[in-house]
């Protein structure tokens, strides 16, 4: 179903700035990543979104394609980012059908709520494998194409890049590990690894024209993450702990994406762009809703009342 433009991208961006470009996105059927890709498609790009669920991924691809008449959006399901050969094959198919990979969004992630002593080794490994190894596999599979794009669309910042930009990657991270977040030790470790990876890509691949940056969303309204990992009866109260006094929108993550991928982000490399209304500055222990710190951790209770709770298998 077509969405109104302002639901996924601001009106400040000129149509056509990503004409003849291709964006490759893992986790592309998710609430945030699909909005990022939709914005890119609206502004001229074609896209390839990757996911494990075939039906969800293919349906989302069709939906994203409604953002622009004539847009081509591939939905490649049954692709597990933990398997490097699956991503290599997906990247090859993307290039074969769409012609290139100019932008990459590494957005596949896994999460649930649980204290450290209730997380099994397998559960921890699963999150690390999806977030860290999955991002690594995404880089490895797409890097040859990004280098080619960066070379083709290089810019010195002094003259207008009339053919647009290319050779850029964004990792979707989080702010959980900045000050430490109860019930999120596993994801905090994983996202810290993703941040470090993005910096390494910037340092090593920057001389080849690549830019590598991180977008770290805060709490974003109407997303799967908020629905699974928080209680509806506490969201209004938790929003009051955010300096901007509200949850963010997917459009605000999309706008950050367009900024980093467009001519405006030419000289931004190896940075973390936090889009959270200032939330991480005032988060921490007082913002855990019904799971009060440290009483909940000391009680030994299992997380209840949210779909994202997980019982230990130890």
**Which of these is catalytic: 191, 230, 238, 262?**
191
- 173 has catalytic annotation: yes
The answer for 120, left when phi > 0, alpha when psi is -120 to 50, beta otherwise, is beta
- 96 has catalytic annotation: no
Yes or no: say if 141 and 88 are a contact pair by the CB < 8 Å rule.
yes
CA atoms within 13 A on the CB side of 290: 14
Angle, CA 280 vertex, CA 279 and CA 285 arms, to 5° = 105
- Please report how the helices 185-205 and 134-152 are oriented relative to each other, as an axis angle in degrees rounded to 10: 30
Q: Tokens representing 265?
A: 């982000």
Yes or no: say if 221 and 247 are a contact pair by the CB < 8 Å rule.
yes
Nearest to 40, CA basis, from 140, 107, 90, 96: 107
Direct distance between the N- and C-terminal alpha carbons of the chain, in angstroms, rounded to an integer: 44
Query: What does the alpha-carbon distance between residue 47 and residue 7 come to, in Å, rounded to a whole number?
Result: 19
**Which of these is catalytic: 34, 100, 149, 173?**
173
Nearest to 171, CA basis, from 141, 134, 206, 118: 134
Catalytic residues: 173, 191
């Amino acid at each position: 179903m077509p969405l109104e433009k302002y639901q996924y991208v601001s009106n400040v961006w000129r149509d056509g700035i990503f004409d003849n470009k291709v964006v490759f996105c893992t986790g592309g059927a998710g609430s945030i990543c699909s909005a990022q890709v939709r914005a890119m498609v609206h502004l001229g790009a074609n896209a390839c979104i990757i996911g494990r669920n075939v039906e969800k991924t293919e349906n989302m691809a069709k939906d994203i394609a409604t953002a622009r008449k004539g847009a081509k959006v591939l939905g490649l399901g049954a692709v597990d980012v933990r398997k490097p050969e699956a991503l290599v094959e997906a990247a090859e198919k993307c290039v074969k059908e769409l012609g290139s990979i100019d932008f990459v969004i590494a957005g596949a992630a896994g999460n649930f709520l649980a204290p450290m002593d209730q997380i099994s080794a397998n559960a921890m490994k699963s999150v690390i494998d999806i977030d860290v190894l999955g991002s690594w596999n995404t880089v490895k599979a797409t890097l040859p194409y990004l280098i080619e794009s960066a070379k083709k669309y290089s810019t010195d910042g002094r003259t207008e890049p009339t053919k647009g930009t290319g050779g850029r990657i964004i990792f979707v991270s989080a702010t959980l590990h900045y000050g430490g977040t109860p019930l999120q030790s596993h994801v905090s470790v994983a996202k810290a690894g993703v941040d470090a990876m993005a910096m390494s890509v910037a340092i090593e691949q920057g001389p080849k024209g690549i830019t590598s940056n991180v977008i770290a969303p805060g709490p974003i309204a109407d997303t799967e993450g908020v629905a699974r990992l928080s209680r509806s009866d506490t969201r209004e109260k938790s929003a009051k702990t955010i300096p901007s006094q509200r949850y963010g929108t997917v459009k605000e993550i999309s706008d950050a994406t367009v900024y980093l991928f467009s001519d405006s982000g030419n000289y931004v490399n190896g940075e973390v762009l936090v889009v959270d209304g200032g939330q991480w500055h005032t988060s921490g222990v007082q913002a855990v809703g019904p799971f009060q710190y440290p009483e909940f951790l000391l009680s030994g209770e299992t997380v209840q009342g949210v779909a994202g709770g997980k019982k230990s298998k130890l």
